[in-house]
Amino acid sequence: MKTETCWPWSAGIHRSGYGIFSVHSKQVYAHRYSFELHNGPIPQGLVLDHVCHGWDRSCISGIRCLHRRCVNPQHLEAVPFAENVYRGNTLAAENAAKTHCPVGHPYDVANTYITPEGWRVCRECSRKKDAKRRKAVTS
């Protein structure tokens, strides 16, 4: 049933939670079809973000998210994959939004370094940890 905001897909639902149907024996995601029908092809390297999901902070991410069924083209935006992840209600998004380390030091240019794995590390906490380790070795 179409609402004033979201247009929930009411036919087939893929195990991932997205609306799906077949065109010429090929499975097609309903939200991708709707976006392309109204806006043209999805630019290479981009994925579709259901912006309506971001409006509903009570909605959890994952296959049970009803926003995955929305086919309203005004609720779909082509964005890089990482941006789509960070916009969601995910652990990655929650961590990216943090502005301070667990102790309270700021995650800023001067106090933060990024590991090869992509983790943010607080320089101040790292210095204190190293000093404590050195003191334990020399004691």
Domain boundaries, the chain: 1-97, 98-139
**Residue 127 confidence class, pLDDT cut points 50, 70, 90:** very high
CB 96 within 8 A of CB 83: no
Q: Does residue 132 surpass a pLDDT of 80?
A: yes
Closest among 23, 22, 27, 37 to 71, alpha carbons compared:
37
Check residue 1 and give its pLDDT. Answer: 43
As a whole number, mean pLDDT of residues 85-90 equals 76
Q: Give me the residue label for tokens 């079809």.
A: 33
The share of the chain scoring above pLDDT 90, in percent, equals: 48
Q: Does residue 16 surpass a pLDDT of 90?
A: no
CA dihedral of residues 105, 111, 114, 119 (deg, nearest 10): 0
As a whole number, mean pLDDT of residues 41-52 equals 92
Residue-wise pLDDT tens digits, 18-36: 999 998 999 999 999 999 9
Q: Give me the residue label for tokens 């069924």.
A: 69
Query: Exposed/middle/buried for 61, CB within 10 Å: 0-12, 13-18, 19+?
Result: middle
Check residue 4 and give its pLDDT. Answer: 62
As a whole number, mean pLDDT of residues 47-54 equals 85
Mean pLDDT of the chain: 86
pTM (2 decimals)? 0.65
